[in-house]
Homo-oligomer: A and B are copies of this chain.
């Protein structure tokens, strides 16, 4: 660890770029800025690598993958699979993937990349100026980039302040299987953690206010995941509002407005996240804390004079998933470096200086069983759009798993005959997504896609069926 990253009360040396927040997004901004020749300070108050590395993508997939691999094997006749999951081994594997919550490896990576890592809580204290608590002020010659991510939203439910709840952090890092778990919220975190813990042995109940799971995706996705959860013994309750929670025995009592009461050992609140913009000193540069930081496609924050304040990732409220945040981060890092060189940056759509995919081809995978993979538009948005829907009923899928059930949707612009969106649901569809992303980003006409011949017998053959269904 070099001197910049040890505790000290001295001022930090002035620099070219200061990045506030050292999650995956901040790391990528910093790495690209350094690559562009800029001195870059990355300030992190907790662990370098952030939410994704320690309490989200990585540990959640680590908890899910053993169950998915086992289920996949069990769906193939001829495989003897008497065993189940060894929970303690699953936890140990998860612990290894999060480096036992030690960010030493990431600090080494950052320092090797030429990034100056500063530990501490940072806030803006004026134009191009950041104050790090207990460390003093650092000035940025070119840019300050806010990558503080998001924090869980805890809903206003009577009694909730008085009960111990799990957020995504506890749900991904726990090493004891609760006997019973109530999950509040049927979004990505809710469904993934409901399934992970159910498969590890917890009795799980999922409570969702709305009438479906994964409400931001086509209905068939939430339905398939609900069915998958039920197959694992999860009680899925839709349209259920919680009216009160209270401590009861060693756990939590949950009352719903339909009059039902349940008592569980743990309550996971997974009702969404909000941009982390409080305590950041935004008011010192004329912005209002609490909301999202509105940015253009270069990552420049709106409403601030002088083109020096940027943001990327969840804090911008754009596509709030790690990989899209990292993508925006690469753009911001490149833009800042280009402008520092005096280049006239023109953020043309799909150029290297515009995070165009955030609103045209944002991708997401839900790693439940069945998986859900989506990109771009989930539903037709205009009259010239058409949804092409099909079961994933190809030989490759049947061979992959007995009784394979899957569903695919393309959203097509019927005037330009290009793909605008795609959603796949089914076992092991995650890797099918990138083909759709390339088709959307490349604006490849359907008649050209006709020549992209899926290998037989893969699950990707569903592409051929989708194009035939469209009419080719």
Contacts and interface: CB of A to CB of B under 8 A. Distances in A.
A472 B431 CA distance: 23
A326 interface: yes
Given A76-B66, A80-B83, A80-B84, A438 B450 contact: no
Contacts of A459: 431
A89 interface: yes
A209 B410 CA distance: 47
B399 A456 contact: no
Interface string A385-408: 000000000011011101000000
Given A399-B97, A441-B449, A434 B433 contact: no
A455 B321 contact: yes
Contacts of A84: 80
A324 to B, nearest CB: 6
A455 B350 contact: no
A83 B85 contact: no
Interface residues of A, number: 84
A363 to B, nearest CB: 4
A52 B431 contact: no
Interface of A (DSSP majority class): helix
Task: Among A73, A326, A373, find the residue whose CB has the most chain B CB atoms closer than 10 A.
Answer: A73
Nearest to A401: B69
Contact of A80 (B85, B399, B430): B85
Contacts of A66: 76-79
Given A90-B78, A399-B65, A431-B458, A444 B452 contact: no
Contact of A444 (B58, B357, B431, B442): B442
A289 interface: no
A339 B448 CA distance: 22
Interface in A336-367: 350-352, 356-357, 361-365
Nearest to A364: B455
A395 B60 CA distance: 13
A456 B82 contact: no
A437 interface: yes
A295 interface: no
Task: Among A79, A447, A448, A459, find the residue whose CB has the most chain B CB atoms closer than 10 A.
Answer: A79
A451 B456 contact: no
B438 A439 contact: yes
Contacts of A271: none
Contact of A458 (B83, B365, B396, B447): B365
Contacts of A321: 455-456
Interface in A194-215: none
Given A432-B434, A451-B350, A70 B61 contact: no
Interface in A418-472: 428-435, 437-442, 444, 447-461, 463, 472
Interface string A302-329: 0000000000000000000111101100
Contacts of A456: 52, 57, 321-323, 326
Contacts of A384: none
Contacts of A395: 57-58
B79 A69 contact: yes
Interface in A85-102: 85-87, 89-90, 92-93, 97
B77 A73 contact: no
A62 interface: yes
A83 B86 contact: no
Contact of A399 (B62, B431, B452): B62
Contacts of A85: 78-80
Which 3 A-B pairs have CB atoms at the shortest separation, nearest pair first?
A80-B83, A442-B444, A78-B90
Given A93-B402, A429-B431, 12 more contacts: A58-B395, A77-B92, A79-B86, A80-B86, A81-B83, A321-B455, A438-B438, A438-B439, A438-B449, A440-B452, A442-B444, A442-B452
